[in-house]
Amino acid sequence: MKHITQKLVAGFSGLAMIFSLSPVFANDVVPELIRVDASSASETVVIQPDDQPLERSAKLQRAWVVYREKDSKQIWAIRKSEKTKHEIQTLDFFTANNANYHIVLVPIGSLDRFSIGEPITTTDEFNPEDWRKSPFACRLVKVANEPAVYLLCHGKKRVVLREGVFHRNGWEFRDVETMTQSELNTFETDTSIDEETVFDEDVEVETTNNRELRERLEKRLELQGKKETRERLVKVPERPEIYVMTPNGKLRHIKDQETARKHKLDLHETTEVSEDEFEAFEVTLDISKDTPESELSDDES
C-alpha cells in the first residue's frame, strides 16, 4: 500500500492530485457486509527509534483508506455505523491526525450502495473512530448443502465454474464461508469465473488473507522451535494481554499470572505478532487456573 508522498500544489480544487494515487480497485463495497475493523489503520503511525521490528513494519503498512470513483474528483470517507459515504471537502481531514492516507480508485458506481451523508467540511469534534479505515475485501461463499461457490465483490456474485480457479488465485476450499440462500439472493448475478477469466482489479479474499497470515505465523513459531501448545504464546507489542495459540488455530487469553504458573506457561517466551496477524485469529474463551489441562493438550480438536 503506497503512502502519500506527493506535495500539495494547489487549493482544494486540486485535491485529487495531492496524493500519489494507486490505480487499485476496492473490493466488495457492500454496506450490509462491511466488517467493522479498524485494526489495519491507525492514527499512531509515526516511526519511533525504539519501535520493535513488527511494530515498525505494521506502522509502515498502515493507512487510512478513502475512495475515489474513476473519472470523479470527489473523495469519500466511509462512516462505520451508518454505512454512509461522506465527501471530504476540507484539507484539514488529511492533517488533523497523524495518519497516513491511501486513496483507492474504484470503478464507477462502486459506491452507489452507500447513502450520501453530510460532507466533511470541518474536523471540529471529529472522531476518527467513527470511520472505516481498512480496505474492503471480497468473499468466497456458498449455500449449505449446495456445491456452487461464488465470489462476492462490489455487491455482485460470480459463480466459480472450476476448481482450477482456486489453484490459480491461491484460494482454498476452506476459505469458503457459508451463507443462507436468502442472503445470497440479495446479490446481483454477474459473469461466471473460469481459468481464463482476467480480473480488472486486485481481488483480495478476506478469509484467504487471514489464513495466509495464520500460516506464516505458525511457520515462524516452528522455526523458533515452538511446536507445543504451551510454547505458542503470542502478544501484540505494547498490549499487555498474552494469548495461547491452540492447535485448532484460535487464540485464548491467559487470564493472569496465577493461571500461567498453574499451567506452566512461560510468559518470558512470548512471541510478538503484528496487529494484522492477531486480527487473523478468532479469540475464544480465556484460559484460567480452572481450565482443564486437556484443553491445552496438543491433541485438542
92 alpha-carbon distance from chain centroid? 26
Give CA–CA dist 130/132, Å, rounded: 7
**Contacting residues for 258 by C-beta, under 8 A, at least 6 apart:** 289
Averaged pLDDT for residues 122-130 = 87
Residue 83 belongs to a domain:
yes
Same domain assignment for residues 18 and 124 = yes
Same domain assignment for residues 178 and 119 = no
Residue 30 belongs to a domain:
yes
The mean predicted confidence, pLDDT, of the chain is 80
Q: Write down how long the chain is.
A: 301
Same domain assignment for residues 146 and 88 = no
Same domain assignment for residues 284 and 237 = yes
Same domain assignment for residues 40 and 127 = yes
Residue 2 belongs to a domain:
no
Answer yes or no: are the C-beta atoms of 188 and 156 closer than 8 Å. yes
Q: Is the pLDDT of residue 89 over 90?
A: yes
Same domain assignment for residues 153 and 251 = no
Same domain assignment for residues 155 and 91 = no
Which pLDDT belongs to residue 297? 77
pTM, entire model: 0.61
22, β-bridge pairs: 104
Same domain assignment for residues 127 and 20 = yes
Which pLDDT belongs to residue 57? 65
17 or 110: which leads in pLDDT: 110
Q: Is the pLDDT of residue 92 over 80?
A: yes
Domain limit, last residue, from 132, 154, 171: 132
Over the stretch 221-250, which tens digit does the pLDDT of each residue have? 999 999 999 999 999 987 899 999 998 889
Residue 281 belongs to a domain:
yes
Give CA–CA dist 189/227, Å, rounded: 45
Averaged pLDDT for residues 41-58 = 64
Element (DSSP H or E) covering residue 149: strand 149-153
Domain count along the chain: 3
Q: Is the pLDDT of residue 273 over 60?
A: yes
Percentage with pLDDT > 90 across the chain: 45
Domain limit, last residue, from 69, 104, 132: 132
Residue 211 belongs to a domain:
no
Quick one: pLDDT band at residue 36, thresholds 50, 70, 90? very low
Which pLDDT belongs to residue 26? 33
Averaged pLDDT for residues 115-122 = 94
Same domain assignment for residues 176 and 274 = no
Domain limit, last residue, from 156, 174, 204: 204
Averaged pLDDT for residues 169-179 = 92
Residue 102 belongs to a domain:
yes
Quick one: pLDDT band at residue 170, thresholds 50, 70, 90? confident
Quick one: pLDDT band at residue 274, thresholds 50, 70, 90? confident
Q: What is the CATH number of the domain that holds 281?
A: 3.30.2390
Residue with cell 449449505: 144
Same domain assignment for residues 164 and 180 = yes
Residue 74 belongs to a domain:
yes
47 or 89: which leads in pLDDT: 89
Which pLDDT belongs to residue 252? 95
Q: Is the pLDDT of residue 191 over 50?
A: yes
Domain hosting 120: range is 12-132
CB count in 10 Å sphere of residue 204:
16
Same domain assignment for residues 262 and 291 = yes
Query: Burial, 285: exposed, middle or buried (Cβ in 10 Å; 0-12, 13-18, 19+)?
Result: exposed
Same domain assignment for residues 127 and 143 = no
Which pLDDT belongs to residue 200? 65
Residue 209 belongs to a domain:
no
52 or 203: which leads in pLDDT: 203
Quick one: pLDDT band at residue 195, thresholds 50, 70, 90? confident
